[in-house]
Structure 1
Amino acid sequence: MSERVLITGANGLIGRALVDKYVSKDYQVVAQVRNSQNLSPRKSLEIKTFDFDKSSGADLLANIGRIDILINNAANQEVIPISDISRSKFEEILRVNVIAPSELAIAAKTAGASRIVNLTSVEADVAKAGHEIYGASKAALEALTRTLANVLAPVRVNGIRLGLIGEPELASRWPTGVTNWKNAVAAKRYASPEEVADFVFQVTGKEFSYSTGAIFDFDGGKSSSAGW
């Protein structure tokens, strides 16, 4: 029987790449989307429309049933200065970025999962202006990743801290940000969503069977630089 993977936020840039990767490797993929989707139908792909801002992650798992792998990719990355953010928006970001992944992870063990990957961000350390709450939520997700590795053992729970990810067109749409990023990191470039999917696939594979509670940097060297 093919292994079954749940990918949240599957209609985003990274989410679509993750879906393509696991489908290409003959996994049965359940793709969670919020309210629209840009995924091409495939025999091994099941699309679930679900809003984490309105319902519990446990409810989604109850509807899906058995899974082998959970990839918590969905995120709210709205740019709002911390001095302007409302309480309701603050809570909305936390629900999507922290609460839902936690609910999903706990329910995933009951659903049979043996591997969980949480996608976080370099902004968990220091967030750019307007991303303060997003960064705080990712820092919380990293703390949860380490805790859940113990609470949910023997389920393997790891995190991947992402740097700047984009398609080739990003450089023309956001030249200043891309230039600043390239100047700040050792790799002198940003990563493609396909590269992220390749690394996530490795982390959920047997090559990483001894790893749990880890946060892997996938940032082109940002973690060793002074800033951007």
Structure 2
Amino acid sequence: MTEDQPPRDLNAAGRAGSSGDGNAYGDTYGPADGNTYGNGNGIGNEDKIGTGTGTGTGTGNGNGTGPTGAGSLSGLPDLTGQVVLVTGAAGGIGRGIALRFAAAGAAVVVHHRTGAEAARAVVARIEEDGGSALALRADLAVEEECHRLVADAARWRGRLTALVNNAGVQPTQELAGMSLADWRAVADVNVHSVFACTQAAAEVMRDTGGGSVTHIASIEADRPAPLHAHYCASKAAVVMHARSAALEYGAWGIRVNSVSPGLIGRPGLAEDWPEGVRRWQAAAPAGRLGRPEDVGDACVFLASPMASWITGHDLVVDGGVSARPTW
């Protein structure tokens, strides 16, 4: 990652990750520019995402034997028995989310569009650590493929208990001169796929007792950045969709939330955008860039029973940058 100190040991049973594919928002949709405020793509490795699964029995908790399963040993909530679909999970944030769900014991569907080899690598990594995963391809700019993806994910294990809408694009372009086609290219993936995948997943979850949906938004949903007008507008729409869906799907036992990351590190980011990285690290009370697993941990929490009374909420994961005054 891009901070000076080595990554934290997330899991005693884990190991350092590799083969990240260099995109702060982890999309598999092509030429996104790779970070919240800058614009360099990068092909990287050594994500340093600790994972691993556990199989032991926990100590007593006052009512007999304690919890078993991966989550209790990884420090995460135990999601054994859950089946989660993570869109855009071949690299970047999506990869981190998928690995953290697997570390918590969930079976994970790893979606990709063009990153088949990277998606297979994520599946292999999860299986090596004792987990269960499946790679599925779909073009989420096409409504029918969104519905097919959800149906295939649910068919794999006979249910779908959680959806993370992570796939997205992040091009940079001046608003002056931007065409409607340019605007729609961002909205189709960042907004319309969220609508279609959530709608399809809600139908499945309603028939199996409910579930959770989490959208990956951005702090740019309410803090615009230059050259990101279409991106910022799309993420604002995602946050409001989560709140609206929470209102309407609550009666079906479905919780819907969003997670808004700040700047997430990737290999090569400090070289591509050194001034921006320095500014971010100076502005963040936490003193570092985010890591994909920071976002993954937030998603695991929101999908867990610990968040059973949380819905319609936007969870900001930005190291405290949003607490800074802008004047």
Q: Specify if TM > 0.5.
A: yes
1:3 aligns with 82
Q: Which residue of 1 aligns with 2:230?
A: 133
Q: Measure the CA separation in 2 of the matches of 1:18 and 1:76.
A: 17
How many Å apart are 1:105 and its aligned residue? Answer: 1.1
**1:74-93 maps to which residues of 2 (within 5 A)?**
74-93=167-186
Inter-partner Cα distance in structure 1 for 2:96 and 2:260: 17
| Code of the aligned partner of 2:86 | I
- Structure-2 change in CA distance of 1:157 and 1:109 (3 Å): same
- Offset from partner CA, 1:119-151 (integer Å, 9 cap, x none): 110111122111111000000111111100011
Q: Quick one: distance in 2 between partners of 1:110 and 1:19?
A: 23
Q: Distance in 2 between matches of 1:27 and 1:7?
A: 11
Distance (Å, rounded) in 2 between the aligned partners of 1:188 and 1:160: 20
Counterpart in the other structure of 1:73? 166
1:63 alignment counterpart: 152
Q: Distance in 2 between the 1:135 and 1:198 partners?
A: 24
CA distance in 1, matches of 2:323, 2:152: 42
User: Once the two structures are superposed, what CA deviation does each residue of 1:33-58 show, in whole Å capped at 9, x if it has no partner?
Assistant: 01113132334111111111234422
Counterpart position of 1:117: 214
Specify the SS of the correspondent of 1:160: strand
- The 1-side partners of 2:304 and 2:105 are apart by 14
Partners in 1 of 2:283 and 2:184 — Cα distance? 32
1:224 Cα offset (Å)? 1.5
Where does 1:24-63 land on structure 2 (aligned, <5 Å)? 24-37=103-116, 38-39=118-119, 40=121, 41-42=123-124, 43=127, 44-56=132-144, 57-63=146-152
Which amino acid in structure 1 is aligned with residue 106 of structure 2? Y
Gaps of 5+ in 1: none
Q: Which has the higher strand share?
A: 1
Corresponding position of 2:96: 17
1:78 Cα shift? 0.9
Q: Secondary structure at the match of 1:217?
A: strand
Q: Residue 182 of structure 1 aligns with which residue?
A: 281
Q: How big is the shift at 1:11?
A: 1.4
Hey, what's the Cα distance between the residues in 2 that align with 1:55 and 1:214? 26
- CA deviations on 1:41-83 (whole Å, 9 max, x unpaired) are 3341111111112344223223333310000111111111111
TM-score, normalization by structure 2: 0.66
Q: Which moved more, 1:47-56 or 1:118-127?
A: 47-56
8 Å CA contact 2:294–2:317 kept in 1: the answer is no
Q: Is the 8 A contact 2:137 2:149 kept in 1?
A: no
Deviation at 1:169, TM superposition (A): 4.2
Distance in 1, matches of 2:326 and 2:141, equals 32
| 1:95 counterpart = 2:188 | yes
Contact 1:185 1:221 in 2 (8 A): yes
Partners of 2:218 and 2:173 in 1: CA distance: 17
- Two-structure CA RMSD over aligned residues (Å): 1.8
User: For each residue in 1:172-199, what CA deviation from the matched residue of structure 2 results, as whole angstroms up to 9, or x when unmatched?
Assistant: 3321111121232222221111121122
| Amino acid of the structure 2 residue aligned with 1:132 | A
Q: Which runs of 5+ in 2 are unaligned?
A: 1-79
**Distance verdict in 2 for CA 1:4–1:55, change over 3 Å:** same
AA partner of residue 242 (structure 2) = T
Q: Deviation of residue 204 (structure 1)?
A: 1.2
CA distance 1:68–1:36, change in 2 (3 Å): same
Equivalent residues of 1:184, 1:226 under 8 A apart: no
Secondary structure at the aligned position of 2:110 is classed as strand
Residue 93 of structure 1, CA deviation: 0.8
| 8 Å contact from structure 1 (residues 4, 67) kept in 2 | yes
CA contact (8 A) 1:184 1:227 kept: no
Shift of residue 94 of structure 1?
Answer: 0.7
SS of the residue 2:238 aligns to: helix
Tell me: CA distance 1:188–1:144, structure 2 relative to 1, closer, same or farther (3 Å).
same
**In the alignment, what sits opposite 2:262?**
163
